[in-house]
Homo-oligomer: A and B are copies of this chain.
Amino acid sequence: MIPPLNPLHVFDVAARHLSFTRAAAELRVTQPAISRQITTLEGFLGIRLFERDKHGLRLTSEGEEFQRQIAPAFRIIANATAGVMATGKAEPLKIRVYTTFAAKWLITRLPSFYVAYPNIRLNISNTVAPIDFEKDKVDLAVQFGAGKWPGVEAELLFKDVIQPICSPALLKRARLAELDDLRKVQLLHSHYRRADWPDWLMAVKRPDLLTDAGVSFPSSVLTYQAAVEGVGVAVGQLFLLRKEIADGTLVPLFNAPFERPLAHYVAWPRNRPLGRKARSFVHWLQAKIEDSAASPDRAY
């Protein structure tokens, strides 16, 4: 007869520590969770495994014997699991991200991921267009939008704060001091972010400044590169341009950042439960995003 296995595992840990609190710490849950699991196991077996009295916690003699017997089972399981996960037969984690996100943020930080998780192999593809989980067989994707897609689970990465940016040279040359000065320069657009200029201009109540003139690029990386080269003024995603802004390669204009109700999210299909590796990647992403939000000047 197989007892409830999670309680059994909890028992193994708690018996090693002779402390529910420390077992809770090891298993990264709270102490009451341990208490309940043990109660469940004792209830199932019909036997007290721990003696809880004056001087803290002790195993009963049956508990001691039981723990002695089952402990090897968990060693076996842990070893076998480590073994199978190390076969290299493990599928690499497939991730799809936007070209711009990859170029401006992800790539420089990837080494840190490989250090933290040496045996997770990544397979990162990038695209400029939104992702359809049905077609693209990926485990995770970085998506831009409102955070709600049918059949898709998503967690926020960072909000979309936009502001015009240009090179310091252009700023100087064109004397961009007020909004009307925008008429003097090229406006740089990105195919998949056509709304950037209209939205920002609307936010500063000058939709009249929108012109059809200007250059359009198939990806924001290129648009931003053009801005760096001094070709014109682009509307930049501030989060992705922290480094350029911090080191002066790009200058934000008019002191008018605008936060849209859109954001970048990590997303995955709701039906498939997230694997261990995918979960690790999501955690790493979130932690790194937080880092770079916290220390703007040391973006990486």
Contacts and interface: CB of A to CB of B under 8 A. Distances in A.
Nearest to A6: B5
Give the one of A8, A74, A77, A83 with max B CB within 10 A.
A77
A44 interface: yes
B1 A5 contact: no
A6 B4 CA distance: 8
A1 B277 CA distance: 13
A90 interface: yes
B85 A80 contact: no
A135 interface: no
Contacts of A85: 1, 45-47
A76 interface: yes
Contacts of A55: none
A232 B283 CA distance: 79
B74 A2 contact: yes
Interface stretch (A63-71, A145-153, A159-167): A63-71
A80 B62 contact: no
A291 interface: no
Interface residues of A, number: 44
Contacts of A46: 85, 90-91, 93, 275-277
Contact of A62 (B8, B77, B89): B89
A156 to B, nearest CB: 23
A39 B1 contact: no
13 contacts: A3-B77, A5-B9, A39-B273, A45-B84, A45-B276, A46-B93, A47-B91, A48-B91, A62-B87, A66-B83, A69-B84, A70-B77, A73-B73
Interface of A: 1-3, 5-6, 8-9, 39-40, 43-48, 62, 65-66, 69-70, 72-74, 76-85, 87, 89-91, 93, 272-277
